[in-house]
Amino acid sequence: MTAFHAPASPAPAGAATPGSVTRAAGAVAAAPGLLRIGTRGSALAVSQTTTVAEAIARATGVDVVLVIITTHGDVSRAPLAQLGGTGVFVSALREALVAGECDLAVHSLKDLPTGPCDGITLGAVPVRADPRDALCARDGMTLATLPIGARVGTGSPRRAAQLLARRPDLQVSDIRGNVDTRLARITDDLDAVVLAAAGLDRIGRSDAISERFPLHAAPPAPGQGALAIEVRSTDVALPVMRRALAALNDPRARAEAIAERALLGTLEAGCAAPIGATAAVEGGTLTLSATVYRLDGSEQLTAAASAAWDAAMPDAAAPTELGRRAAEELLARGAEQLAPLGGTR
């Protein structure tokens, strides 16, 4: 193993002395006083997993090592909508977790399939980063100032539909690759690309953003900006795991994520479905707004629902019911006529 990134700040008074955070070059055997976190190997995945690892090391005092797992989504260049659903970035990490090759797995929550996974529990959802989409355009242009017929790249059918709904004159191209690869296209064959603001912020590329889209105008993918920490169901009660998960979990972010995922699951929507959703806790109310688009952006349906919520409530019941209510309203109003629903989850 090689040193990767150690927490610089001292532990609070009375807290455990922070453990080390390292990155492994290969497989790592289980050992007392060590937690292994599975992650994809992209710069973004490693950056966000390192933040999680540092929080665990501070809270528990144990050493933490990042174990890099390659997923099918990392090696395939096919459009995401053709790769078999939202689990394309998740399945290899889950297999490694179940096989005992790591003790936790860190995912971008929007990549998680909505159905349950045997033997695995959603252990924590940390504080959510900026959920908005970001336009990265040449010369600092915004969506409104892009020239007629401008070429904009995105790998997301939702983003494509939203762009065309607001600017039907645009030429929207399907693109793949990591953040730097996509940004490089701006000076090559594209005028702009659309990416998640959270990802750009996490890897220090906020300077590439020329506009952050308002949530009401471009609702993001359910779970965008949030992380999901998964753990083997049999390990949740272990004392060190309880401390680690308690240090990571944010009840508000978790409730918002569960509501958005319940919406997606009820709609039976996969990654090919252009659906945007945003949940937010304000005061004692959890509100969810969701929009389903026709793929060409020519038509859309929006539904909203609210429910009472506080951090002392069971963390799944109210958000799950809220997501179902909003989805059922969309279905009753004809969402299946607009978008490819009932697909892989």
What are the tens digits of pLDDT across the range 277-334? 999 999 899 999 999 999 999 999 999 999 999 888 766 889 999 999 999 999 999 9
Place of tokens 């699951």: 265
Q: How confident is the model at residue 18 (pLDDT cuts 50, 70, 90)?
A: confident
Question: What confidence tens digit (pLDDT) does each residue in 335-344 have?
Answer: 999 998 875 4
Which phi and psi angles does 282 have, rounded to 5°? -135, 120
The catalytic residues are 111
Q: How confident is the model at residue 223 (pLDDT cuts 50, 70, 90)?
A: very high
Question: What confidence tens digit (pLDDT) does each residue in 149-171 have?
Answer: 999 999 999 999 999 999 999 99
User: How far, CA to CA in Å, does 106 sit from each of 29, 191, 281, 333?
Assistant: 19, 33, 24, 36
Contacts of 14 (CB under 8 A, 6+ apart): none
Domain with CATH 3.30.160.40 in the chain: 251-333
Please give the share of the chain, as a percent, with pLDDT higher than 90: 79
Q: In the CATH scheme, what is the code of domain 251-333?
A: 3.30.160.40
pLDDT at 9: 39
Q: What's the CA gap between 5 and 135, in Å, rounded?
A: 30
Res 7 pLDDT > 80: no
Strands 285-293 and 300-308: antiparallel
Res 148 pLDDT > 80: yes
pLDDT at 88: 63
3-state secondary structure of 224: coil
Compute how many other C-beta atoms are within 10 angstroms of the C-beta atom of residue 242.
14
pTM, 2 dp: 0.87
pLDDT at 313: 76
Plot region of 231 (φ>0 → left; ψ -120 to 50 → alpha; else → beta): beta
Domain with CATH 3.40.190.10 in the chain: 19-126+226-249, 133-212
Where b means 16+ CB within 10 Å and e means fewer, 30-63 reads eeeebbbbbbbebbbbbbbbbbbbbbbbbbbbbb
Q: Which fold has domain 19-126+226-249?
A: D-Maltodextrin-Binding Protein; domain 2 (3.40.190)
Q: What's the CA gap between 151 and 328, in Å, rounded?
A: 36
Which amino acid makes up residue 101?
E
pLDDT at 76: 43
Q: What's the mean pLDDT when you consider all of the chain?
A: 89
Question: What confidence tens digit (pLDDT) does each residue in 49-87 have?
Answer: 999 999 999 999 999 999 999 865 444 454 544 444 455
Place of tokens 């506080």: 310
Residue/partner pairs of 277-282 with CB below 8 Å, 24 or more apart? 277/219, 277/220, 277/221, 277/222, 277/326, 278/131, 278/215, 278/219, 278/220, 279/255, 279/319, 279/322, 279/323, 280/256, 281/252, 281/255, 281/256, 281/309
pLDDT at 87: 57
pLDDT at 165: 97
Q: Name which of 158, 334, 127 is nearest 248 in CA terms.
A: 127
Q: What's the CA gap between 117 and 22, in Å, rounded?
A: 28
Q: How confident is the model at residue 271 (pLDDT cuts 50, 70, 90)?
A: low
Q: Count of residues for the chain?
A: 345
Residues paired with residue 291 on neighbouring β-strands, in sequence order: 276, 302
Give the homologous superfamily in CATH for domain 133-212.
Periplasmic binding protein-like II (3.40.190.10)
